[in-house]
Structure formats: C-alpha cells, structure tokens
Structure 1
C-alpha cells in the first residue's frame, strides 16, 4: 500500500513539475513575443510626450493593450501560484491555496514589483519552511 501511495505521489509531483515547466515556457514565450510586458505601470514621461504631440488615440490604444497584457500576466502568475500550492498540498500542507503563495511572495516587494523573471523565480523557489515562517508571522500580526 505504501509503495502505491509513493508511486502516486511521484506521478503527481512529476505532473506538477511538467505543468509548471509548460507554464513558465509559455509565459517566457509570450514575453519574448511582446504579448506580455514586464512593465507594471505606464511610463509617465512617455505618456506626457504623446499628449504633447496630440497623439491621443495611440495613447489610449497603448493603455488598452497594456491593460490586457497585465490581465494576462496576472492570470499566468495566478496559475503559477496555484501550481505551487498544489505542490505543497502533495507534500502534506493541505490548506495552502495560490493566493497565500502570492501573498507570501509579494510581501517582500516593498517598492513595487520587480521584473517578471524575478517574480517567477521567487514563486518557483519558495520553500515550505519559508512559507510556513511567513504564515506564522502573519498569524502573530493578527
């Protein structure tokens, strides 16, 4: 019985790793193709320059495209956090959800969000002991 349980856990962990690799590869490919930008905020200087030249339609289109790319980025990060939470559930941490993973990872970003590859690395390299320490500190804070 223990061997079957171990084999099942190995299979599930391999599937989770495969899904995470696919997600990261897909996200990296979208970044490379320009479908997702690494900028989280529009550069105010370039916006002012466009307004000075009277190019309002292009500014609005750029903002709309940027908003869509941020939505796509948020969806991809959410999937990545859910994948990490699933990994923790396989390790026996049954109550972990993707939002907790994101809250833990993003808690160290005091001055805005870093580049996309840093965020992805922080999520993928989050260890259970670091997560549990963060969770305990959150419980103490109230």
Structure 2
C-alpha cells in the first residue's frame, strides 16, 4: 500500500504556485526540475511533520520559499541513498557540480 501524504488533497489547488517555482528554478539554471519533483521534495523533506490545521496559504508560502540550494541538497542526498550517484565517474561529478 502506498503512503498518501496528508497534504496531497492540496496539490491540484497549489499547481500554479508549483509551476511558478518550477519556472523560477528553470531561470536559475535548473531546467530539469519538474513540478512533481518540487512537490515530492516538500512532502518528503519540508512537510515530514504535518499540521492538522494547515491552511492553503501556508502551503503556497512553503512552495514559494523553496531555495534552490535546499532542493539540490535533498536531491543529492536522495541520489546517494538509492545508489544512483557514484563519484567514481568523472562525467557524473561534473554534472553534479553544474
């Protein structure tokens, strides 16, 4: 059985904020980041502990406050966890440092 995050019901409502954040990251050079990846970051990292009385504006504020560095740190750590990133390969090291 897949775990459904408590805030999943808000995802469709906050789609414009996710798109805005995705476009902002693309302008900063992170063209490959998708809206779903931003949502996954938030549900797995920023919203590990959920609030029972969360408001829509709080979720939007969290989305818009995502910093590229914190997102990239999360992605890098996740890549190491699943073993898909190896620093033995020169090409992968250069890609990571972009």
- The TM-score, its normalising length taken from structure 2, stands at 0.62
Match of 1:140 among 59, 65, 80: 80
Asked which structure has the greater RCO (Cα within 8 Å, sep 6+), the reply is: 2
Aligned to 1:112: 50
Separation in structure 2 between the aligned mates of residue 119 and residue 141 of structure 1, nearest angstrom: 27
Q: How many residues end up aligned between the 2 structures?
A: 73
Q: CA deviation at 1:83?
A: 1.6
Separation in structure 2 between the aligned mates of residue 126 and residue 110 of structure 1, nearest angstrom: 15
Q: CA deviation at 1:103?
A: 1.1
Separation in structure 2 between the aligned mates of residue 111 and residue 126 of structure 1, nearest angstrom: 17
**Which 5+ residue runs of structure 2 have no aligned equivalent?**
1-5, 83-98
**Which 5+ residue runs of structure 1 have no aligned equivalent?**
1-39, 42-69
CA RMSD of aligned residues (A): 2.1
Aligned to 1:127: 67
Q: Which has the larger radius of gyration?
A: 1
Of Structure 1 and Structure 2, which has the larger fraction of its residues in helix?
1
Say which SS state the counterpart of residue 76 (structure 1) adopts: coil
Q: CA deviation at 1:84?
A: 0.6
Q: CA deviation at 1:79?
A: 2.4
